C-alpha cells in the first residue's frame, strides 16, 4: 500500500504542472483571482498574540535569554471542492486535474423518479488542492505582525477522488470501521438537536441526505479529515507540517471543532467569514451540485531569537 501511495503522490504532483493549460470555461466556474482575494479576511485569519517564547542566545561574550512574541492565527491551507459531476470541479483552473478516467467516470445522485422522494443516494467527488493565495495572503497577514507558515503549497493536489477510486466510490475498507457501523461516532451535527448533517465515516463520496448543501459540506469534511492525517488507506498526500522549535502547526481536523480548522464558503456564495459545520447561516443550494470551501487551519509560532529554544508561556 505504501508503494501505491508513493506512486500516486508522484502522479498528483505531475498533474499540477499542466492545470493552467487545460482548464475549460464555465459560467459557474470559480477562478483563482476570486479565491485569492477571498483570503483577505480578518474574521478567518483571527490573529492573536497568545504568549511569549524564550530563546538562549550565546556569543563569544556569554549567553543571554531573549524573548519573542508568540502569535496564533489561521492560514488558508487548501481549497476543498465537493461536486456531483466528475470532471466539473467548480474551480476553473484546476479542473483538468480530476478529469474522468477508466475507474472514475460518472457522478450525481441516485433516484427512483418519484416526486415525493426524500431519501436520495447522493454521490460527490472531492478535490483538496493547495490554496492559491500564497504571497498575497502572507503580505496581508504580515500587516498584523509576525506570521506563521501553513502546510499547504499553492496549486498542489493533496486528494483527488478520481484517483482514490476504491476508497471513495466503494468505501473499501472504511465501511467496516467502527466509526461507520456505530451511530453517533464521528458525525457532523447531533441527533439530539435534530441537526444531523451526516456521518464522517466512511470517508467516501456516497451518502443519504435530502439537503444537497449539507451533502456537499459533509463530503468536504470527509476529504479534509483524510488529508490532515497520516497513514490513511486512501490515495492522497498529507496536508501536514512538522513541528519545530518555536512553531506549532495545525493537527488533525475534527468536525464541529474550530480549534482544528474552519471553513470559508467560496461557491455557490462567496463569504468573507469562516464557520464550522453544522452552522446556522444561509445555505444556498448549488444548481449543479458543486460547492467549494477554503479550509483554514490554526498555527502558532514565534520569531527565533537565539540558538536554543527554552520554551514558551501562554497568556491566560
Q: Which pLDDT tens digit goes with each residue over 1-54? A: 444 444 444 544 444 444 433 333 334 469 999 999 999 999 999 999 999 999
Cβ atoms 181, 171 nearer than 8 A: no
Cβ atoms 293, 265 nearer than 8 A: yes
- Residue 241, classed as helix, strand or coil, is coil
Q: What is the pTM of this model?
A: 0.88
Question: How far is the C-alpha of 18 from the C-alpha of 59, rounded, in Å?
Answer: 50
Q: Which H or E run contains 226?
A: helix 212-227
Q: What is the pLDDT of residue 25?
A: 36
pLDDT beyond 60 at 297: yes
CA 307 remoteness from chain centre: 34
Question: How far is the C-alpha of 95 from the C-alpha of 40, rounded, in Å?
Answer: 24
Contacts of 188 (CB under 8 A, 6+ apart): 196, 197, 198, 199, 200, 217, 218, 221, 255, 256, 277, 278
CA 4 remoteness from chain centre: 23
C-alpha cell recorded at residue 146: 509576525
Cβ atoms 246, 309 nearer than 8 A: yes
Cβ atoms 128, 224 nearer than 8 A: yes
Q: What is the CA radius of gyration of the chain?
A: 21
CA 36 remoteness from chain centre: 15
Average pLDDT, the chain: 89
Question: How far is the C-alpha of 82 from the C-alpha of 216, rounded, in Å?
Answer: 5
Q: What is the pLDDT of residue 190?
A: 87
b vs e for 219-229, b when ≥16 Cβ sit within 10 Å of the residue's Cβ? bbbbbbbbbbb
C-alpha cell recorded at residue 299: 498555527
The predicted model gives 222-244 an average pLDDT of 98
Cβ atoms 262, 274 nearer than 8 A: yes
pLDDT (tens digit per residue) in 257-294:
999 999 999 999 999 999 999 998 789 999 999 999 99
Residue entry with cell 482548464: 23
The predicted model gives 238-248 an average pLDDT of 98
Q: What is the pLDDT of residue 110?
A: 57
Amino acid at each position: 500500500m505504501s508503494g501505491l501511495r508513493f506512486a500516486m503522490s508522484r502522479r498528483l504532483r505531475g498533474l499540477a504542472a499542466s492545470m493552467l493549460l487545460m482548464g475549460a470555461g464555465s459560467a459557474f466556474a470559480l477562478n483563482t483571482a476570486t479565491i485569492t482575494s477571498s483570503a483577505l479576511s480578518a474574521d478567518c485569519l483571527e490573529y492573536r498574540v497568545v504568549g511569549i517564547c524564550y530563546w538562549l542566545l550565546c556569543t563569544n561574550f556569554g549567553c543571554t535569554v531573549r524573548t519573542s512574541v508568540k502569535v496564533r492565527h489561521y492560514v488558508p491551507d487548501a481549497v476543498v471542492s465537493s461536486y456531483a459531476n466528475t470532471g466539473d470541479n467548480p474551480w476553473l483552473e484546476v479542473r483538468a486535474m480530476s478529469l474522468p478516467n477508466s475507474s472514475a467516470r460518472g457522478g450525481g445522485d441516485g433516484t427512483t423518479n418519484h416526486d415525493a422522494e426524500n431519501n436520495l443516494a447522493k454521490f460527490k467527488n472531492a478535490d483538496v488542492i493547495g490554496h492559491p493565495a500564497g504571497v498575497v495572503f502572507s503580505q496581508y497577514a504580515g500587516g498584523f505582525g509576525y506570521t506563521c507558515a501553513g502546510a499547504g503549497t499553492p496549486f498542489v493536489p493533496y486528494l483527488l477522488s478520481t484517483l482514490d477510486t476504491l476508497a471513495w466510490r466503494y468505501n473499501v475498507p472504511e465501511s467496516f470501521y467502527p466509526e461507520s457501523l456505530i451511530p453517533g461516532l464521528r458525525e457532523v451535527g447531533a441527533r439530539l438537536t435534530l441537526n444531523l448533517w451526516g456521518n464522517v465515516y466512511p470517508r467516501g463520496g456516497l451518502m443519504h441526505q435530502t439537503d444537497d448543501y449539507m451533502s456537499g459540506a459533509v463530503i468536504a469534511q470527509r476529504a479534509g479529515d483524510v488529508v490532515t492525517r497520516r497513514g490513511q488507506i486512501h490515495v492522497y498526500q498529507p496536508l501536514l507540517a512538522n513541528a519545530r522549535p518555536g512553531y506549532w502547526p495545525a493537527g488533525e481536523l475534527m468536525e464541529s471543532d474550530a480549534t482544528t480548522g474552519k471553513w470559508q464558503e467560496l461557491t455557490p456564495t462567496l463569504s468573507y467569514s469562516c464557520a464550522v459545520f453544522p452552522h446556522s447561516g444561509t445555505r444556498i443550494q448549488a444548481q449543479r451540485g458543486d460547492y467549494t470551501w477554503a479550509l483554514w487551519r490554526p498555527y502558532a509560532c514565534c520569531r527565533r531569537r537565539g540558538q536554543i529554544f527554552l520554551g514558551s508561556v501562554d497568556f491566560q
